[in-house]
Structures are given as C-alpha cells and as structure tokens.
Amino acid sequence: MKTDITEMFGVEFPIFAFSHCRDVVAAVTKAGGVGVLGAVAHSPEALEIDLEWIEAEVGDKPFGVDLIVPAKYLGSDEGGVDMGHVRNMIPAEHRAYVDDILDRYGVPPLPADDESSRQFGGSDDMAAPFSADSQEPNLDIALAHKSALIVNALGPPPKHMIERCKEQGRKVGALAGKAQHAERHVNAGVDFIIAQGSEAGGHTGEIGTMVLIPEIVDAVGNTPVLGAGGIGRGRQMAAAMALGAQGVWCGSVWLTTEEAETHPVVKEKFLKATSSDTIRSRSRTGKHARQLKSAWTQEWDDPETPMPLGMPAQPVLIDEAINRINRAAYTKGSGAEQLANYFVGQIVGNMNESKPATRVVFEMVEEFIDATEYLKSQLEF
C-alpha cells in the first residue's frame, strides 16, 4: 500500500497498533505495520527494558512510544504538584467509598509485601502522574532509543517535546476528538493527527468516527490523518481511508491477541462481550474513558454515590483497589471477578477469537482489499 503515512515511515501497511504489550508492538511492526508502545504505566526502568527488547526484535523497522501529557493538569500553571499534594486533596468520603466497594464485593487486601504492581506508589515528593514532570524521564528514554515516532495521547504535545523530537528527526503525533483539537495540534507542530472517534477505548470524546475523520481531514490540510475508534477490521479500515484518512490507529483489537498481557479474566469478558457492553466512564482516570461495563462502572456511575474525582486524583485514589481486584479476580464467581474491567472500544463485539497479532494485521489487509474491490465493482463506466 502507498499513502502519505506509509511513505513517512517506510512501512508496507498504514496500520498503527497501540499496545501496552511489547510483544504486540514487535509483532505488528514485523508484520509490516507500526507498533506503538503505550508507556504511561511504565516506570523509566521498565520502559528501558521494553524498548531494548523491541529494538532487538524489529531491527531497523519503525516503532513508536505513546505518552500522556495533558495540556492542562493539576497545578500546571504553577509547574505541577507532587504526589503528596494529590494524596492530601483526596476527600475522606471518597476513600471510604472505595473501601465500601471492596468490602461489599469481598475483595481481600494485598499481601503486605506486594508493591510490585502499584502504578502510583512512591514518595510524596514525586511528580504527580499525568504531568509533564512525570513523563519527562520516559521521553528521555524514548529518544535515547530508535523510536521513530512519539505520540501524545491527551492534548497537543508540549513545545519542548516537539522541539526535542524534531531535533532528533523523530515524528510527532497527537490524538484529537474534535477538529479544533486537531488544528491546535497542527499549529503546535505535529507531523500527523490521530482522529479518534467516540467508539474508541480509553480517553475519547463524544463525536463518532464516521463524522470526525472527514471533519479533521478538512481542518488540517496536508497534515496526514490516521483514523481511530471502532477500527479493527479491513472494512472499517477501508471506510476510514474513504473518509480521507491515510491509515488507521487501532488499540482495542490487540487486547485479545495471543501476545496480549490482558488480565485473563478480563480477556475472557472481552471475548464474550458485544459492542453495546462498553461505557464512557470517569471511574478509572477521572476523565471520560471508554471501558468494559462491569460492577465497577455501575458503582461509580450511580448518582447517589460520590462522583469520580478529576485526573490525577481518581487514579491515585483507586490504584490499590484496582490491584486488589485484579489479584482476586482469578477466583471464579468472586466479587472481584464482577468488578474487573479494562479500557476497550466498541470493536470489542468483533473480538471473539484470540489470535496472533500478525494474523490480525493480515486479515485486516485482506478484508481491506476485498472491500475496495467491492466498491470498484459498484462503479459504472
């Protein structure tokens, strides 16, 4: 295939795979697409290890790193705040509510020595999560390796991020849920836009992909656009490119692949889910993020209970609770199993078989070809 995006990165297929799993990233890159490692949950040490492994696997083929640095975050006007400040601002009512959920569903505490899986631990003087300071070490590591692109998942990339990437010849991308967002990204200097519709998993706006892609394509001129949100099959890829996209950005579809590190209980839920089994909820990050419906989202979306806090207070509040749930969810029929969920888009209704990531890529390409041939057959000359 030949588009502006395949030319930009020198790849065979304009299929970008966002994943927190290094095995998926490497598999998609080796299959002719571009794997992008979601690094928000990585410590600098873990990111260093994963990028070294990916480089050894893919050689000179391109891969990317996705960071989350919101344009506005807690205390951003004053240079950000530390973890101690975030912890102190969490109301006692919310702490009590989290404890109540865990008690009612019978979720046991973590062993006293289990600190390994807590994402937001650390001392009070550490930078708060989802801030420029918290992501700076990971940006340093990404640029020290051969990552061909850096993507910012919330808002336009900060000026210093774009400058550093450009100085080292890396491409910069950013996600957009509105045409106005995309215009701001282009004005900031990004090389490509990811137009992510509401169907997508994780942080997403309210505009559907079918409407959003042409709006953004029209708004950004010659800047290449990737379509995202509800895309995991070749027909959807063909539709996105018919709307003006130069390729696609997929995330959810990799969560049920054989390589994925998705919690096995959650993976099984995904395989059984329909496209109507997701919800945009603030219950995990403090911002609206599409995820699988479960007892967890029901508890937080009840207007009679405390509302989720903003980012980053909500993820810090629930950090230990999520790890307790994940650890206990292996017990069949447990309350933790009912609560367990994860970010996923509406494409989950098509994710009903676990298969290798390479097979997902090739099936997308094959169905894309079939779809475009079908469209050609409708033309009369």
Write out pLDDT tens, residues 19-71.
999 999 999 999 999 999 999 889 899 999 999 999 999 999 999 999 987 66
Q: Kindly report the pTM of this predicted structure.
A: 0.93
Contact present, 170 and 151 (Cβ < 8 Å): no
- Could you read off the pLDDT of 130-185 as tens digits, one per residue? 666 677 889 999 999 999 999 998 788 888 889 999 999 999 999 999 999 999 99
Q: What is the predicted pLDDT for the residue at 136?
A: 85
Q: What is the predicted pLDDT for the residue at 102?
A: 98
Q: What is the predicted pLDDT for the residue at 30?
A: 98
| Nearest residue to 225 (alpha-carbon basis) of 186, 267, 169 | 186
Is the model's pLDDT at 86 over the cut of 90? no
Q: What is the predicted pLDDT for the residue at 68?
A: 81
Torsion of CA 210, 215, 216, 218, to 10 degrees: 130
Q: What is the predicted pLDDT for the residue at 121?
A: 63
Confidence band (pLDDT; 50, 70, 90) for 81?
A: confident
- Could you read off the pLDDT of 277-336 as tens digits, one per residue? 999 999 999 999 999 999 999 999 999 999 999 988 999 999 999 999 999 999 999 999
Is the model's pLDDT at 251 over the cut of 60? yes
Average pLDDT, the chain: 93
Which fold would CATH assign to domain 4-75+127-254+356-377? TIM Barrel (3.20.20)
Q: What is the predicted pLDDT for the residue at 158?
A: 87
Confidence band (pLDDT; 50, 70, 90) for 186?
A: very high
CATH 3.20.20.70 maps onto the chain at: 4-75+127-254+356-377
Tell me the pairing of strands 289-292 and 202-203.
antiparallel
* pLDDT-wise least confident of 83-92, 129-138, 195-204: 129-138
258: Cα separation from own chain's centroid? 19
Contact present, 181 and 72 (Cβ < 8 Å): no
- Could you read off the pLDDT of 335-349 as tens digits, one per residue? 999 999 999 999 999
Q: What is the predicted pLDDT for the residue at 79?
A: 56
- Tally of CB atoms within 10 A around 363: 14
* pLDDT-wise least confident of 87-101, 153-167, 273-287, 361-375: 153-167
Is the model's pLDDT at 77 over the cut of 60? no
Q: What is the predicted pLDDT for the residue at 376?
A: 92
| Nearest residue to 143 (alpha-carbon basis) of 221, 67, 224, 223 | 67
